[in-house]
Amino acid sequence: MQGFDFILFGATGDLAMRKIFPSLYQAHIDGFLPSIGRILATSRSAFNTEQFIEELSSKSKIHIKNCVDKKWEEFTHGICYLSINLNDEKDFIALKERIGDKSQNIVIYFSISPEFFMQACKNLALVGLNRDNVKIILEKPLGMDLHSCQVINNEIAKYYDEKQIYRIDHYLGKESIQNLLILRAFNPIFASLWNRKHIDYVEISVFETLGVESRGEFYDNTGALRDMVQNHILQILSLVAMKIPPNLDAESIRKAKLELLKALKPLGDENIAKDVIRAQYIKSGNFKAYLAEDNIKENSQTETFVAIKAEILDDNWRGVPFYIRTGKRMADSFAQIVIQFKNKESLKPHSNKLIIHLQPDNQISLNLSVKKNGKTMKCEEKDLILNLNNTFIMQPYERLILDAIEGNQASFNHKEELEVAWAWVDPILENWREHKTPLYFYPAGSLGPKESFELIKKDGYEWHNF
């Protein structure tokens, strides 16, 4: 890998301490960061480098498994700190002087609120930190709807070309997601079956046992649809259903995802009424209600659970339902993709399903009908499991940061992908703002509202749990 300068805005923030620095440390001990690379941490805090390293050690090391002190000292030796006010041009002049003119590969990570993106880009451009050798990584959320997303994208585009912009979605860095395209492209069995002729339905679930925790103010203005569906889940859906391009390079993958997202059937009020469920968790046992969480508005209508039946209007998937759901304060934490294959009417209810487990397990299982042991010809279901946990697993942020340093955009979002996804989600948000469909409720620690089970049951299916 070529040398680099990695500049992190928001270096004292929670994301930086929990994910970004532990990932950089892991890349260092894995041998993926070259010794000629430099890390420059910045924030508004008035630290010097020594004080920042003390802060980093106290807040970041606890998120690293088996942190070795000698390796940590070696890693932090290459970090320097600079206090920067994002609105002060003089601070950006100081940043440019600290970097110097010799660097050929500069990566700037915006671990800051999107409201500061545009001012930061403007000031970076003023000091020449927008030339071709500069790349920027943008954290979500990019907007709260289509219009605000376009405003951010258009303003940033004044200073950086699209090829310089890396919009990060950590789900795309997960090993199982990275495996999905390989599984589809290089296994003739699945390649030949991956269409409406052989697939009955597809299910994508992302559940968390956690509530909103300390993120109440952010979450109450965001909700599950914006926080999970618009970005993570629609990205997963696009990788499941997109046409496999001849080459798995960044441009081809992003073009295929965009084509798929444009083929999603638009949702009007009639569709939303019957195919979209929103709900909020209520008190159950030792779990308090969402409305009792810290920094939640009184009588808030914010959804903590969403289930949607989606359809894709192209020849490969027409008529195949895609069921997606996500929720907080659920009975268990897991993320999975279920591909339910069709079977002959005479052989029902026996049918195979492929389950791609994203978390907590990193594995792929194929559910098969096999003969029961003994003097019988009756069937039972068994799973053929490919366990990826026993191999080296690179963490999502580590993989994506290294991809950005290397200039590989394959696992990052193009602006058009996000805008098309917002265009699909916006009618749902508008419907909810106008109270055209109800907010349902579910007990904290459950599998969601009964209405979500009815959503899939009316089509003759049921959710696959755990």
**What's the confidence (pLDDT) of residue 363?**
87
Mean pLDDT of the chain: 93
* Residue 283 Cα to chain centre, angstroms: 28
- Nearest 5°: CA angle at 274, between 271 and 276? 80
Torsions phi, psi for 396 (to 5 deg) = -55, -50
Q: Which of 359, 338, 286, 329 is nearest to 449 (CA)?
A: 329
Q: Which of 329, 351, 319 is nearest to 338 (CA)?
A: 351
**What's the confidence (pLDDT) of residue 423?**
98
d(CA 159, CA 231): 24
Peptide bond into 349 cis (omega under 30): yes
Judge whether 174 is annotated as a binding position. Answer: yes
**What's the confidence (pLDDT) of residue 348?**
61
pLDDT band at 375 (very low <50, low <70, confident <90, very high): confident
Paired tokens of 374: 């003994």
Judge whether 283 is annotated as a binding position. Answer: no
- Give the dihedral sign, CA 185/186/189/192: positive
d(CA 430, CA 441): 20
SS3 309: strand
Q: Is 232 annotated in the active site? A: yes
Judge whether 255 is annotated as a binding position. Answer: no
DSSP assignment, residue 170?
A: G
d(CA 440, CA 282): 10
Mean predicted confidence (pLDDT) in 223-244: 96
**What's the confidence (pLDDT) of residue 152?**
95
**What's the confidence (pLDDT) of residue 349?**
61
d(CA 392, CA 44): 37
**What's the confidence (pLDDT) of residue 227?**
94
Judge whether 458 is annotated as a binding position. Answer: no
DSSP assignment, residue 226?
A: I
Q: What is the pLDDT of residues 304-313, one digit of tens each?
A: 999 999 999 9
| Dihedral, 380, 384, 387, 388 alpha carbons, nearest 10 | -140
**What's the confidence (pLDDT) of residue 381?**
84
Q: What is the pLDDT of residues 127-170, one digit of tens each?
A: 999 999 999 999 988 999 999 999 999 999 999 999 999 999 99
- pLDDT over 90, % of the chain: 79
Torsions phi, psi for 40 (to 5 deg) = -115, 110
| The 440-443 sheet, strands edge to edge | 379-387, 363-371, 353-359, 334-341, 199-207, 322-327, 305-310, 276-282, 440-443
Paired tokens of 358: 């994203």
Element (H, E) at 387: strand 379-387
One-character DSSP codes across 211-237:
--TT-HHHHHTTHHIIIIIIIIIHHHH
Element (H, E) at 323: strand 322-327
Pick the catalytic residue from 28, 232, 357, 414.
Answer: 232
**Tokens 């009618």 sit on residue:** 427
State the CB neighbour count (10 A cutoff) for residue 433. Answer: 9
Mean predicted confidence (pLDDT) in 424-431: 98
Of 54-63, 77-86, 280-289, 348-357, least confident by mean pLDDT is 348-357
Judge whether 54 is annotated as a binding position. Answer: no
Torsions phi, psi for 60 (to 5 deg) = -105, -35
Judge whether 140 is annotated as a binding position. Answer: yes
**What's the confidence (pLDDT) of residue 77?**
92
Are the CB atoms for 287 and 281 separated by under 8 Å? yes
Of 51-55, 69-73, 302-306, 372-376, least confident by mean pLDDT is 372-376
Are the CB atoms for 387 and 364 separated by under 8 Å? no
Write down all domains in the chain, each with its CATH number in brackets: 5-139 (3.40.50.720), 172-394+413-457 (3.30.360.10)
- Give the dihedral sign, CA 413/418/420/425: positive
**What's the confidence (pLDDT) of residue 67?**
87
Mean predicted confidence (pLDDT) in 419-433: 98
**What's the confidence (pLDDT) of residue 2?**
60
Paired tokens of 21: 């620095």
| Dihedral, 410, 411, 417, 418 alpha carbons, nearest 10 | -150
